Amino acid sequence: MTIKEVIVADSEGQAIYSQRFGTHPVDEQSLAYSSLISAVHSFGKMLSPHDVNEIKLGEICLLIHSANELLFAVVVDNGNRESNEEKLKSIADLFLENYAAQIAPSQQTLSENLANEFTGMLVQHNFVTN
């Protein structure tokens, strides 16, 4: 089970970091995913005290984790949920450890250099394959 995409978004649904991995085509879905994640997360909070942590869309699944007012998500094929949830939490921890202090409230995305650095960290920690 491989991670196809990693997304970090603010609470408004603005993607701070988004990267596809492997042989999956790059398209405009990243913005749609981050907006969907934010909307479902906000709507879920109105209906339940529990966070929405999974969205299934046909053959793919978006796993969601919130921390420090940011939303973290991975796009994966359906299956092996526990392993991918653990990876997602580790990805969130890695991001927050390295970039939380550098994300300003008005900043919309990581700089290209920081995004490339984070992508390298994800590969180095074997969360994804590039």
Weakest-pLDDT range from 5-19, 89-103, 105-119: 105-119
Nearest CA among 67, 64, 66 for reference residue 85: 64
∠91-92-95 over CA atoms, to 5°?
85
| pLDDT tens profile 64-89 | 898 988 989 998 877 677 888 999 99
Read off the pTM: 0.82
Does the structure show a pLDDT above 50 at 26? no
DSSP H/E element including 43? helix 29-47
Residue pair 53/64 in contact by the 8 Å Cβ criterion: yes
CATH code reported for the domain at 3-124 = 3.30.450.70
Distance from C-alpha of 78 to C-alpha of 62, rounded to nearest angstrom: 9
Q: Name which residue leads in pLDDT, 13 or 87.
A: 87
In the prediction, which pLDDT does 52 show? 66
